[in-house]
């Protein structure tokens, strides 16, 4: 599924984020940048040890909730990994929506800063961190649309959804957010 926004394009695909041929991919990291399961585990496994080496040497203090930091992408096809820290879902009234939007915007800003024409996001916070997938989808899509409407970049933002459930949630959310 593709949504056009002026010179930019939002894409929705089912797949593995580590396999994406884009300038940068987003990691669903934790504040310690300590590695883990899900997207984080897949990126470090497929990308090799240089990514962890870079996070440890460049960001020894980790990354704050709602922010993101950039490293190279090791053996992955992408050029950069943006390690973003989304919120742990605690019911939705403890700032989680704004924290998720901040993490998303931080990645989009890093893409602009590093001249990345294409960026791939996973369903940030919607795995181990428990953010309801439909709410995460609406939040990430709306935040990305607002950003690209204003900045007219990155040219391509691709949401890479691991399973059919996540893919369905994102495509339904697009239909709600995009004016007809
Ligand atoms: N490609 C795309 N999406 C994936 C992949 C993949 N290879 N693998 C899983 N997903 P999660 P979070 C989906 O748990 O909720 C880690 O331990 C997955 O099905 O990766 O932000 C970190 O170290 C789900 O829909 O991220 C943190 O401690 C989505 O990606 C913590 O988990 C996000 O799931 C972060 O949790």
Return the closest-CA partner of residue 69 out of 39, 60, 20.
60
| Alpha-carbon span 63 to 55, nearest angstrom | 10
The residue annotated as part of the active site, out of 16, 40, 75, 146, is 40
Q: Say yes or no: CB of residue 160 within 6 Å of ligand 1.
A: yes
Q: How far is CA 52 from CA 32, 81, 83, in A?
A: 11, 11, 11
Q: Say yes or no: CB of residue 119 within 6 Å of ligand 1.
A: no
Model confidence at 11: pLDDT above 70: yes
Q: List the domain boundaries for the chain.
A: 2-177
pTM of the model: 0.98
- For the segment 27-40, what is each residue's pLDDT rounded down to a tens digit? 999 999 999 999 99
CA of 87 to the centre of ligand 1 (A): 12
Tell whether domain 2-177 is in CATH 1.10.3720.10.
no
- For the segment 47-76, what is each residue's pLDDT rounded down to a tens digit? 999 999 999 999 999 999 999 999 999 999
Which atom of ligand 1 is least distant from the CA of 166? 25
Catalytic (active site) residue 163: no
- For the segment 157-175, what is each residue's pLDDT rounded down to a tens digit? 999 999 999 999 999 999 9
33: left (phi over 0), alpha (psi -120 to 50) or beta: left
Answer for the pair 157, 10: CB distance below 8 angstroms, yes or no.
Answer: yes
Q: Which of 22, 122, 139, 167 to mutate to test the pocket of ligand 1 (most atoms within 8 A of CB)?
A: 122
CA-nearest residue, atom 32 of ligand 1 = 128
Q: How far is CA 178 from CA 4, 10, 21, 52, 173, in A?
A: 10, 11, 26, 38, 9
């Amino acid at each position: 599924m593709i949504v056009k926004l002026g010179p930019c394009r939002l894409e929705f695909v089912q797949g593995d984020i580590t396999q994406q041929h884009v300038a940068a991919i987003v990691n669903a990291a934790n504040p310690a940048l300590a590695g883990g399961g899900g997207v984080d585990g897949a990126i470090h496994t497929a990308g090799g040890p240089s990514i962890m080496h870079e996070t440890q040497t460049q960001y020894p203090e980790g990354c704050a909730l709602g922010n993101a930091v950039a490293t190279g992408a090791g053996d992955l096809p992408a050029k950069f990994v943006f390690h973003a820290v989304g919120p742990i879902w605690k019911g939705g009234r403890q700032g989680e929506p704004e924290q998720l939007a901040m993490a998303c915007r931080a990645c989009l800003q890093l893409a602009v800063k590093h001249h990345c024409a294409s960026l791939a996001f996973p369903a940030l916070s919607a795995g181990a961190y428990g953010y309801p997938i439909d709410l995460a989808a609406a939040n990430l899509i709306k935040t990305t649309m607002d950003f690209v409407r204003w900045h007219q970049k990155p040219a391509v933002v691709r949401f890479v959804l691991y399973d059919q459930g996540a893919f369905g949630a994102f495509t339904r959310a697009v239909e709600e957010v995009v004016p007809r």
